[in-house]
Structure 1
């Protein structure tokens, strides 16, 4: 019997798809009881009892852990296609775009804004394409967090898992405080702690509802954000043409005076971190793969939506901001919250009454959306840490409703730091918290691209090819190579900015606030090497596990199915092929 036939017969899978590809089918767990025999209260209480799948034997290998997780599937696959589409389109649109772009405009000028966002946007498109290929093939709990362990090394997996968890843990209290600050736009007489408490309770209740609650709220939040951005694009054109109560025709005068750039090349480099912050969370559609009804159908379409978000929501809206507001406007750096939002400032300059309040409400909802996503991402990552043996086993507790309760509890406990908003030193504390995860997005995205390259390398080393994949990255390995290089260059540029700050002198405090993330990563990596005594820096391609967690049954049948789908698509009219390529 050939080696290929041995591989085909040895692949152990759990999820199989019905002929109509509508939803995965699994064997029902023996502990599941008929909910119709119990009242609502009893079912609600029983839902918090442990899922049989969360108890993982510490002596199992990584591959055996993956098999066990897939067998019991403690996380529920309740996210539908519409949820994933809206998470991909608008899930990460928040303070980075609505507020952070104001400071970036003041720091680098309108041309720097466009250049930085285009470069990071192209990189994000390539990264999400690479992630989509991996997630469709391996829709395992933890997604790219586990891919680092599988395709690179356990030490790097430990380092990146904790890095990603910390980034979202830190994000939650900061976003809650930012949401409270937006309320000050209307009324600043009420203590911020009161609003923080309200937002905290709302986010907690949403996540207690489980992944379905997260999906529905993000669906609603994303629709509101998308409508707001589309509305501003139309309004921004009207403002520029002078069709508003005050301001008159603007055209491109602000690109001439005060100019297109501020602080030259250094100004361009200085806005990359803000661009990364605005794109943060784009990878969440990959993290949600393990809780999606049919990742094979939903994920490819969701990853393609990133192109439209980058083009329409970011580039066009930022171009309008750059031509409607001079970067010398003191409000861009002299205010906080919605008052510093270039969207709000441009509407105020136009003399439109009432609309700034509407935009402020959208900003507040966007911030709540990011905070909600923070709890989702952090709790799933914490659960994955336990599953990989990188944290105490009880961190991975998942109840019968598929909620990682311990992960949610740890995240919400960390979120209590939001009540520092009532103190006079909260800004300094949050600055140092942000420093820990300042460059983590670039490291995370670069690592996803490395995982994709390692996956393709492993396929080649084991005599296999992309013909066994349901979905392949549109940017292929070249997009991953570009992603690795650009992320590396951006990190180097941030080191340069940290050593030689824009318009200031270097200090130990400012350097650490800009670059603290890298020493933290080195500490994590070194700790695991000495703790585990596993000094594997790279898993050899021939030894990489390419089968655990796959959603296929037979390689031969899969290749035939993929070839049939490609042939069917090729037979369609050109405009349908064009639509399927981009959507």
Structure 2
């Protein structure tokens, strides 16, 4: 088996080898900064793995010893958790959901989505603390579920972020149109935003962390400001009392004249909610590059609860109270159109001036944030994809340079981002509709896979006569939460299939229009199934799951002395038990 102490020693050596800027050459002069910069792109050489290892052991060891830098601090991880998923899905996409489902349908759809997101992120936090390995949850699927499932999950997640990058770059270029920028300059802004996103990621994980800290801070401050302003407006601070008039006649809390139409309208919210919550799982992916995951990850996962409740549910409740779902301005021209944002409409409708431009600036920041995350997530996923033996060796996807950057993955993701230049094409809408279709339900598949990994992990612990007492962090939702999240996501996927195949008004639609609607909603499922079944056929492995007693639950743990770890956890629990109720409650939820 792999020597964990050797793994830690290798990491120390890697860190020291990267400090070439202070190395002294034989002549006694310091290496130039330019030479240091060039040398930083050289590959870190790792010891060859024992050829006698099984495939499962090789994958576990390769992903555990990956030479990524641990430069993310607690403040980075916590801000990524709080504001990382706040973007155009909330600021603009929620307007389409309000129009198709009504204020009650909007809250029901986002509320149900919030519940399984919370269960998923807590399960992910438990595993990420124990196994802060390359690829995070995409690696867990191979380790805890099955090789073919892992291949499909990795492929799905990498494709998801590859598609998002050009989408977000074009969205960012569209935001400047709000100030009257001519469309002929759009290519220039595409190039500018592409250059900014790629440059941030060339600074390594520290650059990503600092950028996300800034981006997320801006988004969080704007949402808090809107909530305070929205409460004042509902109470009549700028005119007559508003209250819940948009929930009653002649507007209505739901859209549709029949129960079936109202149900379909509510179900349609899940696709936009999945887009809005996309990126919630980034905390788990960042664990491998976190300085102290045992301290930072639990706090970050718990703070997701407050993000869901305050930044999503409270703000969307206020939007439903301030904007009618029949408002024609909700029909925007793009996902980055600030004029179609229900937040902007709420403020403009009640006489608040100046804020629309501020919202447009933050929408631009939000799409840059998502684009930044897409390069980070996709490059790490591609590296883990190769480390698990899924990619061809000549591609060198696992190439990690001396600065800890998966440079080949960054290059591939960045090149794919150049698709953003199709913004100047007459086929722009058609191209991006199908790119979005590839992404559509990918997040739901990812979240369902995380819940399944947690179920399998707990099952492996039980089968090997191990208990949760040895875990540094236990999900507050428990394994029951993962079962709830997994089953609920399956139900949502079934409902989305129904809505895609038989949308509202399908009797008046042509067969080609229905087919287009279905595949624009559900295209990501055939892609996932092809990857899964194709891998099964290639490997000729027809087992559904890895036997629980054969699952590796030790390799890759950052905390290697289980006896000392158990004693430390017991001491921390004893100290917390002696605190008063308020402190214990705060520690549990925050």
TM-score if structure 2 supplies the norm length? 0.92
SS in 2 for 1:49: coil
Deviations 1:454-497 (A, max 9, x none): 00000000011001100000000110010011100000000010
CA distance, structure 1, for counterparts of residue 438 and residue 245 of structure 2: 40
CA shift in 2, pair 1:31/1:234, >3 Å: closer
**Contact 1:54/1:398, CA 8 A, preserved across alignment:** no
Bigger mean CA offset, 477-486 vs 51-60: 51-60
1:379-418 residue pairs with structure 2 within 5 A? 379-393=379-393, 394-418=396-420
Structure 2: gaps spanning 5 or more residues = 23-29, 257-261
CA shift in 2, pair 1:316/1:31, >3 Å: closer
CA shift in 2, pair 1:58/1:392, >3 Å: farther
Query: Are positions 1:43 and 2:43 aligned together?
Result: no
**Contact 1:135/1:143, CA 8 A, preserved across alignment:** yes
1:509 corresponds to which of 516, 527, 530: 516
CA distance, structure 2, for counterparts of residue 391 and residue 383 of structure 1: 9
TM-aligned CA deviation for residue 445 of structure 1: 0.5
2:211 corresponds to which of 209, 217, 231: 217
In structure 2, the residue matched to 1:144 is 137
Deviations 1:322-348 (A, max 9, x none): 010000011111443111110111111
CA distance, structure 2, for counterparts of residue 11 and residue 564 of structure 1: 30
TM-aligned CA deviation for residue 188 of structure 1: 3.5
**Contact 1:54/1:74, CA 8 A, preserved across alignment:** no
Q: Structure 1 segments of 4 or more deviating over 3 A?
A: 14-17, 24-27, 29-34, 53-60, 68-71, 503-506
CA shift in 2, pair 1:16/1:531, >3 Å: closer
Bigger mean CA offset, 199-208 vs 562-571: 562-571
CA distance, structure 2, for counterparts of residue 358 and residue 32 of structure 1: 41
Query: Are positions 1:557 and 2:564 aligned together?
Result: yes
In structure 1, the residue matched to 2:301 is 303
Deviations 1:81-117 (A, max 9, x none): 0000000000111010001000000000000111111
Deviations 1:166-214 (A, max 9, x none): 0010001001111111111112414221211111110011011110000
CA distance, structure 1, for counterparts of residue 416 and residue 128 of structure 2: 29
**Contact 2:64/2:132, CA 8 A, preserved across alignment:** no
1:480-519 residue pairs with structure 2 within 5 A? 480-504=482-506, 505=509, 507-519=514-526
**Contact 2:11/2:67, CA 8 A, preserved across alignment:** no
Deviations 1:347-401 (A, max 9, x none): 1112222111011111110111011111111110011100001112301111000
1:257-268 residue pairs with structure 2 within 5 A? 257-263=250-256, 264-268=262-266
SS in 2 for 1:109: helix
CA shift in 2, pair 1:270/1:287, >3 Å: same
TM-aligned CA deviation for residue 66 of structure 1: 3.1
Please give the root-mean-square deviation of Cα atoms over the aligned residues, in Å: 1.9
CA distance, structure 2, for counterparts of residue 508 and residue 56 of structure 1: 49
CA distance, structure 2, for counterparts of residue 16 and residue 46 of structure 1: 24
CA distance, structure 1, for counterparts of residue 3 and residue 301 of structure 2: 27
SS in 2 for 1:353: coil
Bigger mean CA offset, 572-581 vs 363-372: 572-581
In structure 2, the residue matched to 1:361 is 361
Structure 1: gaps spanning 5 or more residues = 1-9, 18-23
CA distance, structure 2, for counterparts of residue 301 and residue 410 of structure 1: 33
CA distance, structure 2, for counterparts of residue 275 and residue 59 of structure 1: 47
In structure 2, the residue matched to 1:344 is 344
Query: Are positions 1:84 and 2:70 aligned together?
Result: no
CA shift in 2, pair 1:56/1:98, >3 Å: farther
Bigger mean CA offset, 323-332 vs 521-530: 521-530
In structure 2, the residue matched to 1:156 is 149
1:456-535 residue pairs with structure 2 within 5 A? 456-504=458-506, 505=509, 507-535=514-542
In structure 2, the residue matched to 1:250 is 242
Deviations 1:491-514 (A, max 9, x none): 000001011112343621111111
**Contact 1:11/1:547, CA 8 A, preserved across alignment:** no
CA shift in 2, pair 1:288/1:163, >3 Å: same
CA shift in 2, pair 1:118/1:69, >3 Å: closer
In structure 2, the residue matched to 1:6 is none
**Contact 2:63/2:135, CA 8 A, preserved across alignment:** no
Deviations 1:220-250 (A, max 9, x none): 0011000000000011112222323xx6332
CA distance, structure 2, for counterparts of residue 301 and residue 54 of structure 1: 35
**Contact 1:442/1:487, CA 8 A, preserved across alignment:** yes
Bigger mean CA offset, 326-335 vs 267-276: 326-335
**Contact 2:131/2:557, CA 8 A, preserved across alignment:** yes
Query: Are positions 1:331 and 2:325 aligned together?
Result: no
In structure 1, the residue matched to 2:551 is 544
CA distance, structure 2, for counterparts of residue 344 and residue 297 of structure 1: 38
In structure 1, the residue matched to 2:449 is 447
In structure 2, the residue matched to 1:572 is 579
TM-aligned CA deviation for residue 31 of structure 1: 4.7
CA distance, structure 2, for counterparts of residue 360 and residue 183 of structure 1: 8
In structure 2, the residue matched to 1:4 is none
**Contact 1:145/1:381, CA 8 A, preserved across alignment:** yes
CA shift in 2, pair 1:368/1:224, >3 Å: same
SS in 2 for 1:99: helix
TM-aligned CA deviation for residue 573 of structure 1: 1.8
**Contact 1:14/1:551, CA 8 A, preserved across alignment:** no
**Contact 1:173/1:417, CA 8 A, preserved across alignment:** yes
Bigger mean CA offset, 541-550 vs 555-564: 555-564
1:27 corresponds to which of 6, 9, 12: 12
Deviations 1:295-335 (A, max 9, x none): 11100000001001001000000000001000001111144
TM-aligned CA deviation for residue 15 of structure 1: 8.9
In structure 1, the residue matched to 2:292 is 294
CA distance, structure 2, for counterparts of residue 330 and residue 157 of structure 1: 44
Deviations 1:411-468 (A, max 9, x none): 0111111111101111111111111221111111111011001000000000110011
Bigger mean CA offset, 167-176 vs 508-517: 508-517
